[in-house]
A = this chain, B = another copy of it.
Protein backbone atom coordinates (compact mmCIF):
# COMPACT_ATOMS: atom_id res chain seq x y z
CA UNK A 1 0.00 0.00 0.00
CA UNK A 2 1.16 3.51 -0.70
CA UNK A 3 1.49 6.07 2.04
CA UNK A 4 -1.67 7.81 0.77
CA UNK A 5 -3.62 4.55 0.80
CA UNK A 6 -2.57 3.87 4.39
CA UNK A 7 -3.67 7.34 5.44
CA UNK A 8 -6.98 6.94 3.65
CA UNK A 9 -7.57 3.52 5.27
CA UNK A 10 -6.93 4.93 8.75
CA UNK A 11 -9.22 7.92 8.20
CA UNK A 12 -11.91 5.57 6.98
CA UNK A 13 -11.52 3.56 10.18
CA UNK A 14 -11.97 6.84 12.06
CA UNK A 15 -15.25 7.63 10.33
CA UNK A 16 -16.46 4.08 10.93
CA UNK A 17 -15.52 4.31 14.60
CA UNK A 18 -17.50 7.53 14.99
CA UNK A 19 -20.58 5.86 13.49
CA UNK A 20 -20.02 2.84 15.75
CA UNK A 21 -19.81 5.11 18.80
CA UNK A 22 -23.32 6.38 18.13
CA UNK A 23 -24.61 2.81 17.87
CA UNK A 24 -22.75 1.88 21.07
CA UNK A 25 -24.36 4.77 22.90
CA UNK A 26 -27.76 3.16 22.39
CA UNK A 27 -26.86 -0.21 23.96
CA UNK A 28 -28.14 -0.97 27.44
CA UNK A 29 -25.80 -2.28 30.13
CA UNK A 30 -27.40 -5.71 29.77
CA UNK A 31 -26.74 -5.76 26.03
CA UNK A 32 -23.14 -4.71 26.53
CA UNK A 33 -22.58 -7.37 29.19
CA UNK A 34 -24.03 -10.10 26.96
CA UNK A 35 -21.65 -9.02 24.20
CA UNK A 36 -18.72 -9.07 26.64
CA UNK A 37 -19.50 -12.64 27.67
CA UNK A 38 -19.71 -13.65 24.01
CA UNK A 39 -16.32 -12.06 23.40
CA UNK A 40 -14.81 -13.97 26.32
CA UNK A 41 -16.20 -17.23 24.96
CA UNK A 42 -14.84 -16.42 21.50
CA UNK A 43 -11.32 -15.90 22.83
CA UNK A 44 -11.37 -19.36 24.40
CA UNK A 45 -13.02 -20.97 21.37
CA UNK A 46 -10.37 -19.52 19.07
CA UNK A 47 -7.45 -20.46 21.28
CA UNK A 48 -5.67 -22.50 18.61
CA UNK A 49 -6.06 -19.77 15.98
CA UNK A 50 -4.66 -17.18 18.41
CA UNK A 51 -1.78 -19.43 19.43
CA UNK A 52 -0.89 -20.05 15.78
CA UNK A 53 -0.78 -16.33 15.12
CA UNK A 54 1.29 -15.87 18.26
CA UNK A 55 3.74 -18.55 17.09
CA UNK A 56 4.39 -16.44 13.99
CA UNK A 57 5.20 -13.44 16.16
CA UNK A 58 7.44 -15.53 18.43
CA UNK A 59 9.34 -16.98 15.48
CA UNK A 60 9.91 -13.49 14.06
CA UNK A 61 11.01 -12.24 17.48
CA UNK A 62 13.55 -15.02 17.85
CA UNK A 63 14.83 -14.46 14.34
CA UNK A 64 15.20 -10.76 15.15
CA UNK A 65 17.16 -11.61 18.29
CA UNK A 66 14.77 -10.09 20.85
CA UNK A 67 15.69 -10.61 24.51
CA UNK A 68 14.14 -13.36 26.59
CA UNK A 69 12.14 -10.85 28.62
CA UNK A 70 10.69 -9.29 25.46
CA UNK A 71 9.82 -12.67 24.04
CA UNK A 72 8.14 -13.62 27.29
CA UNK A 73 5.96 -10.49 27.16
CA UNK A 74 4.94 -11.48 23.65
CA UNK A 75 4.17 -15.10 24.45
CA UNK A 76 0.57 -16.32 24.74
CA UNK A 77 -0.33 -19.65 26.32
CA UNK A 78 -3.68 -21.36 26.90
CA UNK A 79 -3.47 -20.09 30.48
CA UNK A 80 -2.87 -16.50 29.36
CA UNK A 81 -5.76 -16.66 26.89
CA UNK A 82 -7.99 -18.08 29.63
CA UNK A 83 -6.89 -15.21 31.89
CA UNK A 84 -7.80 -12.66 29.19
CA UNK A 85 -11.23 -14.27 28.86
CA UNK A 86 -11.67 -14.29 32.63
CA UNK A 87 -10.71 -10.61 32.72
CA UNK A 88 -13.49 -9.87 30.22
CA UNK A 89 -16.02 -11.76 32.35
CA UNK A 90 -14.97 -9.71 35.37
CA UNK A 91 -15.47 -6.48 33.39
CA UNK A 92 -18.94 -7.68 32.41
CA UNK A 93 -19.77 -8.07 36.10
CA UNK A 94 -18.75 -4.50 36.97
CA UNK A 95 -21.20 -1.63 37.41
CA UNK A 96 -21.67 0.39 34.21
CA UNK A 97 -21.20 4.08 34.99
CA UNK A 98 -22.83 5.31 31.75
CA UNK A 99 -26.15 7.06 32.37
CA UNK A 100 -25.40 7.96 35.99
CA UNK A 101 -26.76 11.33 37.07
CA UNK A 102 -23.81 13.31 38.43
CA UNK A 103 -25.89 16.28 39.52
CA UNK A 104 -29.31 17.69 38.80
CA UNK A 105 -30.90 20.97 39.75
CA UNK A 106 -33.66 23.40 38.81
CA UNK A 107 -33.04 27.06 37.98
CA UNK A 108 -35.33 29.87 39.19
CA UNK A 109 -36.76 30.12 35.64
CA UNK A 110 -37.88 26.49 35.84
CA UNK A 111 -35.17 25.00 33.63
CA UNK A 112 -34.24 21.59 34.97
CA UNK A 113 -30.59 20.69 34.31
CA UNK A 114 -29.28 17.13 34.51
CA UNK A 115 -25.55 16.43 34.26
CA UNK A 116 -25.29 12.85 33.13
CA UNK A 117 -22.43 10.48 32.38
CA UNK A 118 -22.04 9.49 28.73
CA UNK A 119 -19.35 7.63 26.79
CA UNK A 120 -16.39 9.69 25.59
CA UNK A 121 -16.91 8.53 22.00
CA UNK A 122 -13.91 7.14 20.14
CA UNK A 123 -10.71 6.26 21.97
CA UNK A 124 -7.38 5.49 20.31
CA UNK A 125 -5.07 3.09 22.12
CA UNK A 126 -1.44 2.94 21.00
CA UNK A 127 0.53 0.20 22.68
CA UNK A 128 3.71 -1.78 22.47
CA UNK A 129 4.52 -5.44 22.66
CA UNK A 130 2.05 -7.15 25.05
CA UNK A 131 -0.78 -8.57 22.92
CA UNK A 132 -3.15 -8.88 25.90
CA UNK A 133 -3.55 -5.07 25.83
CA UNK A 134 -5.67 -5.56 22.70
CA UNK A 135 -8.34 -7.31 24.74
CA UNK A 136 -7.90 -5.44 28.03
CA UNK A 137 -8.13 -1.93 26.60
CA UNK A 138 -10.81 -2.63 23.99
CA UNK A 139 -13.05 -4.27 26.56
CA UNK A 140 -12.85 -1.47 29.13
CA UNK A 141 -13.59 1.09 26.42
CA UNK A 142 -16.48 -1.04 25.12
CA UNK A 143 -17.98 -1.50 28.59
CA UNK A 144 -18.23 2.29 28.83
CA UNK A 145 -19.80 2.62 25.37
CA UNK A 146 -16.72 3.83 23.53
CA UNK A 147 -15.50 2.70 20.13
CA UNK A 148 -11.79 1.91 19.95
CA UNK A 149 -9.09 2.11 17.35
CA UNK A 150 -6.13 0.04 18.47
CA UNK A 151 -2.62 0.30 17.11
CA UNK A 152 -0.19 -2.24 18.55
CA UNK A 153 3.51 -2.84 18.03
CA UNK A 154 5.08 -4.61 15.10
CA UNK A 155 6.30 -7.55 17.23
CA UNK A 156 2.79 -8.65 18.19
CA UNK A 157 0.92 -7.83 14.99
CA UNK A 158 -0.25 -11.37 14.18
CA UNK A 159 -1.39 -12.00 17.75
CA UNK A 160 -3.16 -8.62 17.90
CA UNK A 161 -5.00 -9.23 14.64
CA UNK A 162 -6.16 -12.65 15.83
CA UNK A 163 -7.35 -11.31 19.21
CA UNK A 164 -9.14 -8.32 17.69
CA UNK A 165 -10.84 -10.59 15.16
CA UNK A 166 -11.97 -12.94 17.93
CA UNK A 167 -13.48 -10.01 19.85
CA UNK A 168 -15.22 -8.52 16.82
CA UNK A 169 -16.50 -11.74 15.32
CA UNK A 170 -17.31 -13.17 18.74
CA UNK A 171 -19.28 -10.07 19.72
CA UNK A 172 -21.15 -9.63 16.43
CA UNK A 173 -23.79 -12.37 16.89
CA UNK A 174 -24.49 -10.94 20.36
CA UNK A 175 -25.12 -7.48 18.91
CA UNK A 176 -21.72 -5.74 18.78
CA UNK A 177 -22.12 -2.84 16.31
CA UNK A 178 -19.80 -3.02 13.30
CA UNK A 179 -16.45 -1.25 13.67
CA UNK A 180 -16.78 -0.93 17.45
CA UNK A 181 -13.31 -2.44 17.89
CA UNK A 182 -10.87 -1.88 15.07
CA UNK A 183 -7.19 -2.77 14.94
CA UNK A 184 -4.95 -0.83 12.58
CA UNK A 185 -3.11 -3.48 10.56
CA UNK A 186 -0.14 -1.18 9.90
CA UNK A 187 2.77 -0.94 12.30
CA UNK A 188 4.82 1.78 10.67
CA UNK A 189 5.37 5.02 12.51
CA UNK A 190 3.29 6.97 10.02
CA UNK A 191 0.14 5.24 11.25
CA UNK A 192 0.69 6.80 14.69
CA UNK A 193 0.92 10.19 13.03
CA UNK A 194 -2.32 9.67 11.14
CA UNK A 195 -4.12 8.70 14.34
CA UNK A 196 -2.67 11.70 16.17
CA UNK A 197 -3.93 14.09 13.50
CA UNK A 198 -7.42 12.58 13.29
CA UNK A 199 -9.02 14.80 15.96
CA UNK A 200 -12.20 14.87 13.93
CA UNK A 201 -12.76 11.22 14.80
CA UNK A 202 -10.67 10.44 17.88
CA UNK A 203 -11.76 12.08 21.13
CA UNK A 204 -8.84 10.75 23.15
CA UNK A 205 -5.59 8.82 22.72
CA UNK A 206 -4.15 6.68 25.49
CA UNK A 207 -0.59 5.54 24.81
CA UNK A 208 0.28 2.40 26.76
CA UNK A 209 4.01 1.92 26.81
CA UNK A 210 7.36 3.50 27.58
CA UNK A 211 8.33 7.15 27.76
CA UNK A 212 9.48 7.17 24.12
CA UNK A 213 6.07 6.14 22.85
CA UNK A 214 4.28 8.64 25.10
CA UNK A 215 6.62 11.44 23.98
CA UNK A 216 5.92 10.69 20.34
CA UNK A 217 2.17 10.71 20.85
CA UNK A 218 2.25 13.90 22.96
CA UNK A 219 4.27 15.77 20.39
CA UNK A 220 2.00 14.74 17.50
CA UNK A 221 -1.48 14.57 18.99
CA UNK A 222 -4.11 17.21 18.29
CA UNK A 223 -6.64 15.58 20.64
CA UNK A 224 -6.37 15.01 24.40
CA UNK A 225 -3.82 12.41 25.51
CA UNK A 226 -3.91 10.73 28.90
CA UNK A 227 -0.39 9.90 29.90
CA UNK A 228 0.89 7.16 32.15
CA UNK A 229 4.40 8.33 32.82
CA UNK A 230 6.94 7.00 35.29
CA UNK A 231 6.39 6.50 38.95
CA UNK A 232 9.27 7.96 40.92
CA UNK A 233 7.57 7.21 44.23
CA UNK A 234 8.87 8.23 47.64
CA UNK A 235 8.47 7.07 51.19
CA UNK A 236 9.26 9.68 53.84
CA UNK A 237 9.97 8.35 57.34
CA UNK A 238 9.10 11.15 59.69
CA UNK A 239 10.65 11.88 63.07
CA UNK A 240 7.44 10.58 64.69
CA UNK A 241 7.29 7.35 62.68
CA UNK A 242 6.65 3.93 64.17
CA UNK A 243 9.97 2.57 62.96
CA UNK A 244 8.89 -1.06 62.68
CA UNK A 245 5.92 0.06 60.58
CA UNK A 246 8.22 2.23 58.47
CA UNK A 247 10.52 -0.71 57.75
CA UNK A 248 7.59 -2.95 56.79
CA UNK A 249 6.08 -0.30 54.50
CA UNK A 250 9.40 0.59 52.89
CA UNK A 251 10.31 -3.05 52.26
CA UNK A 252 6.90 -3.66 50.72
CA UNK A 253 7.02 -0.53 48.59
CA UNK A 254 10.48 -1.37 47.27
CA UNK A 255 10.79 -5.12 47.11
CA UNK A 256 7.37 -6.79 46.88
CA UNK A 257 7.20 -6.10 43.12
CA UNK A 258 9.96 -3.71 42.08
CA UNK A 259 9.19 -3.60 38.35
CA UNK A 260 5.99 -1.55 38.57
CA UNK A 261 5.23 2.16 38.57
CA UNK A 262 3.91 2.29 42.14
CA UNK A 263 7.05 0.78 43.66
CA UNK A 264 9.21 3.12 45.75
CA UNK A 265 12.39 4.50 44.20
CA UNK A 266 13.51 6.96 46.91
CA UNK A 267 13.42 6.80 50.72
CA UNK A 268 13.78 9.97 52.79
CA UNK A 269 14.53 9.88 56.53
CA UNK A 270 14.06 12.68 59.08
CA UNK A 271 17.45 13.70 60.49
CA UNK A 272 16.30 13.37 64.14
CA UNK A 273 15.83 9.60 63.83
CA UNK A 274 18.39 8.90 61.13
CA UNK A 275 21.14 7.63 63.44
CA UNK A 276 18.79 4.99 64.81
CA UNK A 277 16.75 4.23 61.66
CA UNK A 278 19.42 4.27 58.94
CA UNK A 279 21.29 1.12 60.03
CA UNK A 280 18.02 -0.77 60.60
CA UNK A 281 16.60 0.02 57.16
CA UNK A 282 19.97 -0.55 55.47
CA UNK A 283 20.21 -4.03 56.98
CA UNK A 284 16.59 -4.86 56.15
CA UNK A 285 16.90 -3.69 52.53
CA UNK A 286 20.23 -5.42 51.98
CA UNK A 287 18.81 -8.63 53.35
CA UNK A 288 16.17 -8.41 50.58
CA UNK A 289 18.91 -7.92 47.99
CA UNK A 290 18.27 -4.21 47.49
CA UNK A 291 21.23 -2.13 46.27
CA UNK A 292 21.38 1.13 48.22
CA UNK A 293 22.56 4.49 46.88
CA UNK A 294 22.76 7.17 49.54
CA UNK A 295 23.60 10.77 50.22
CA UNK A 296 26.74 11.33 52.36
CA UNK A 297 24.75 11.38 55.64
CA UNK A 298 23.01 8.11 54.92
CA UNK A 299 26.24 6.46 53.80
CA UNK A 300 27.85 7.48 57.09
CA UNK A 301 24.88 6.53 59.31
CA UNK A 302 23.89 3.28 57.57
CA UNK A 303 26.84 1.36 59.05
CA UNK A 304 26.96 -0.57 55.78
CA UNK A 305 29.97 -0.50 53.51
CA UNK A 306 27.87 -1.53 50.56
CA UNK A 307 25.96 1.75 50.16
CA UNK A 308 27.22 3.62 47.11
CA UNK A 309 27.09 7.34 46.56
CA UNK A 310 23.90 8.61 44.87
CA UNK A 311 24.41 10.79 41.80
CA UNK A 312 22.16 13.68 40.75
CA UNK A 313 20.57 11.30 38.25
CA UNK A 314 19.65 8.74 40.94
CA UNK A 315 17.12 11.10 42.58
CA UNK A 316 15.12 11.33 39.35
CA UNK A 317 15.39 7.73 38.19
CA UNK A 318 12.64 5.12 38.04
CA UNK A 319 14.76 1.98 38.56
CA UNK A 320 11.97 -0.59 38.34
CA UNK A 321 14.54 -2.83 40.01
CA UNK A 322 15.95 -3.73 43.43
CA UNK A 323 17.77 -0.42 43.75
CA UNK A 324 16.86 2.36 46.19
CA UNK A 325 18.13 5.89 46.70
CA UNK A 326 18.14 7.05 50.32
CA UNK A 327 18.51 10.56 51.68
CA UNK A 328 18.44 12.28 55.07
CA UNK A 329 16.30 15.43 55.25
CA UNK A 330 16.29 18.13 57.90
CA UNK A 331 12.54 18.23 58.38
CA UNK A 332 9.10 17.78 56.87
CA UNK A 333 9.47 20.91 54.73
CA UNK A 334 12.65 19.57 53.18
CA UNK A 335 10.93 16.24 52.48
CA UNK A 336 7.96 17.92 50.80
CA UNK A 337 10.22 20.17 48.76
CA UNK A 338 12.40 17.25 47.67
CA UNK A 339 9.44 15.12 46.60
CA UNK A 340 7.67 17.91 44.70
CA UNK A 341 10.90 18.75 42.87
CA UNK A 342 12.29 15.29 42.11
CA UNK A 343 9.22 13.06 42.06
CA UNK A 344 6.93 12.28 39.20
CA UNK A 345 3.73 13.25 41.07
CA UNK A 346 2.52 9.65 41.03
CA UNK A 347 2.36 8.15 44.55
CA UNK A 348 4.17 9.15 47.72
CA UNK A 349 3.95 8.12 51.36
CA UNK A 350 4.63 9.52 54.82
CA UNK A 351 5.11 7.22 57.79
CA UNK A 352 4.37 9.09 61.00
CA UNK A 353 2.29 9.05 64.18
CA UNK A 354 2.05 12.86 64.03
CA UNK A 355 -1.34 13.85 62.60
CA UNK A 356 -0.33 17.44 61.89
CA UNK A 357 2.75 16.32 59.95
CA UNK A 358 0.65 13.81 58.01
CA UNK A 359 -1.98 16.41 57.14
CA UNK A 360 0.66 18.78 55.83
CA UNK A 361 2.24 16.01 53.75
CA UNK A 362 -1.11 14.94 52.29
CA UNK A 363 -2.03 18.54 51.52
CA UNK A 364 1.25 19.76 50.11
CA UNK A 365 2.60 16.83 48.13
CA UNK A 366 1.53 17.43 44.55
CA UNK A 367 0.89 13.81 43.62
CA UNK A 368 -2.06 11.78 42.36
CA UNK A 369 -2.03 9.50 45.42
CA UNK A 370 -0.64 10.46 48.82
CA UNK A 371 -0.38 7.77 51.52
CA UNK A 372 -0.24 8.01 55.27
CA UNK A 373 1.13 4.87 56.88
CA UNK A 374 0.54 2.55 53.92
CA UNK A 375 2.65 1.23 51.05
CA UNK A 376 2.62 3.10 47.73
CA UNK A 377 2.01 -0.30 46.12
CA UNK A 378 -1.70 0.27 46.87
CA UNK A 379 -1.83 2.95 44.16
CA UNK A 380 -3.76 0.71 41.82
CA UNK A 381 -7.27 0.55 40.38
CA UNK A 382 -7.81 -2.95 41.71
CA UNK A 383 -6.61 -2.04 45.21
CA UNK A 384 -8.81 1.09 45.13
CA UNK A 385 -11.78 -1.17 44.42
CA UNK A 386 -12.34 0.04 40.86
CA UNK A 387 -12.50 -3.54 39.61
CA UNK A 388 -10.50 -2.72 36.51
CA UNK A 389 -7.85 -0.24 35.50
CA UNK A 390 -6.73 1.07 32.17
CA UNK A 391 -3.64 2.65 33.73
CA UNK A 392 -2.46 5.16 36.29
CA UNK A 393 -2.65 8.68 34.93
CA UNK A 394 0.14 11.11 35.73
CA UNK A 395 -1.97 13.90 34.25
CA UNK A 396 -4.09 16.29 36.29
CA UNK A 397 -6.85 16.88 33.76
CA UNK A 398 -9.84 14.54 33.46
CA UNK A 399 -8.18 11.54 35.13
CA UNK A 400 -5.52 11.55 37.83
CA UNK A 401 -4.08 8.41 39.41
CA UNK A 402 -5.70 4.99 38.92
CA UNK A 403 -8.14 5.14 35.97
CA UNK A 404 -11.18 2.89 36.15
CA UNK A 405 -14.38 2.81 34.15
CA UNK A 406 -15.62 6.21 35.33
CA UNK A 407 -12.54 7.86 33.87
CA UNK A 408 -13.47 6.41 30.46
CA UNK A 409 -16.65 8.50 30.44
CA UNK A 410 -17.55 12.13 29.76
CA UNK A 411 -20.79 13.91 30.60
CA UNK A 412 -23.54 15.84 28.90
CA UNK A 413 -25.99 18.48 30.15
CA UNK A 414 -29.66 17.73 29.47
CA UNK A 415 -31.79 20.84 29.95
CA UNK A 416 -35.54 20.38 30.20
CA UNK A 417 -37.77 23.41 29.70
CA UNK A 418 -41.31 24.39 28.87
CA UNK A 419 -40.70 27.18 26.43
CA UNK A 420 -38.08 29.27 28.26
CA UNK A 421 -36.36 32.00 26.26
CA UNK A 422 -33.56 34.27 27.40
CA UNK A 423 -34.41 37.86 28.24
Contacts and interface: CB of A to CB of B under 8 A. Distances in A.
Interface in A370-423: 370-375, 377-379, 383-385, 395-398, 400-402, 410-422
B111 A415 contact: no
A348 to B, nearest CB: 11
A366 interface: yes
A421 B22 contact: no
A340 interface: yes
Task: Classify the interface of chain A: helix, strand, loop or mixed.
Answer: mixed
Contacts of A370: 412-415
A256 B401 CA distance: 44
Interface string A110-135: 01010000001100000000000000
Contacts of A26: 363-364
Given A398-B398, A410-B397, A373 B416 contact: yes
User: Number of contact residues on A: which range applies?
Assistant: 35 or more
Contact of A373 (B226, B248, B396, B417): B417
Nearest to A371: B415
A105 B256 CA distance: 25
Contacts of A204: 396-397
A23 to B, nearest CB: 10
Interface stretch (A33-41, A55-63, A216-224): A216-224
B367 A412 contact: yes
A22 B367 CA distance: 12
A121 B372 contact: no
A107 interface: yes
Contacts of A113: 384-385
A249 interface: yes
B374 A419 contact: yes
Contact of A248 (B225, B411, B421): B421
A413 B369 contact: yes
B364 A396 contact: no
A245 interface: yes
A86 to B, nearest CB: 20
A224 B363 contact: no
Interface in A216-245: 218-219, 222, 224-226, 242, 245
A387 to B, nearest CB: 13
A396 B120 contact: yes
Contacts of A249: 419, 421
A245, A340, A367, A413: which has the most chain B beta carbons within 10 Å?
A413
Contact of A107 (B383, B417, B419): B383
A25 B364 contact: yes
A105, A379, A385: which has the most chain B beta carbons within 10 Å?
A385
A419 to B, nearest CB: 4
A422 to B, nearest CB: 4
A236 to B, nearest CB: 14
A203 interface: yes
21 contacts: A22-B340, A25-B364, A26-B364, A105-B385, A107-B383, A203-B396, A218-B222, A257-B422, A368-B413, A369-B412, A370-B412, A371-B415, A372-B417, A373-B420, A374-B416, A374-B420, A374-B421, A375-B421, A378-B422, A379-B413, A383-B422
